[in-house]
Amino acid sequence: MDKKNKPLSKNQKIVLDFIQKNKKPVKAYSILSNVKRKGINAPPQVYRALDKLIEIGKIHRVESQNSFVACKVSDCDTPHKTIFSICNSCEIVSEIKDPKLFKQLKDFSDNDGIKFDGYNLEFFGTCKACKNKQPESTQH
């Protein structure tokens, strides 16, 4: 069975629900304070749920922000291979799904021929929405 379709525990559902509702990645403390209202009081319960959700590919950790974001790619099932683009001004994070890039990374090996089990790439720049907000030339 597809591991993404396994039924989630109640805590996992609550945590996932909160992360999915946010457009931006959320930090653990923000998750903690939110799920408290829903009856999860112990941080370990939240961390366990986060670990599990990462493992089954429902969410990803954005390392540079130490935050969590819901996976929006339906066939993305690997927790240790993530590529994100991050906007420097609004900090919005999008998952990059580029078949060419994926293939290249899959075939990548270092000079000793070592293949790697995972990668965690983050590209930084300005998103479309922010670019449109900033006029090309600002007059001072």
Q: Which of 31, 40, 62, 71 binds Zn ion (CB under 5 A)?
A: 71
Place of tokens 């930090």: 27
**Nearer to Zn ion by C-beta: 56 or 76?**
76
Contact 70, 53 (CB under 8 A): no
Q: Which of 42, 73, 101, 121 binds Zn ion (CB under 5 A)?
A: 73
Residue 121 as a binder of Zn ion (CB under 5 A): the answer is no
Helix axes 28-36, 43-55, angle to 10 degrees: 120
How far apart (Å, rounded) are the C-alpha atoms in residues 120 and 113? Answer: 20
Only segment of 8-16, 32-40, 82-90, 101-109 that touches Zn ion (CB under 5 A): 82-90
The span from the CA of 54 to the CA of 70, in Å, is 9
> Min. distance of Cβ 23 from Zn ion in angstroms?
11
Size of the site for Zn ion (CB under 5 A): 8
8 Å CB contact between 102 and 110: no
Instruction: Report the nearest approach of Zn ion to the CB of residue 78 (Å).
Output: 8
Radius of gyration, CA atoms only, the chain:
17
Residue 19 interacts with Zn ion (CB under 5 A): yes or no = no
Q: For binding to Zn ion (CB under 5 A), which residues are involved? A: 71, 73, 76, 87, 89-90, 127, 130
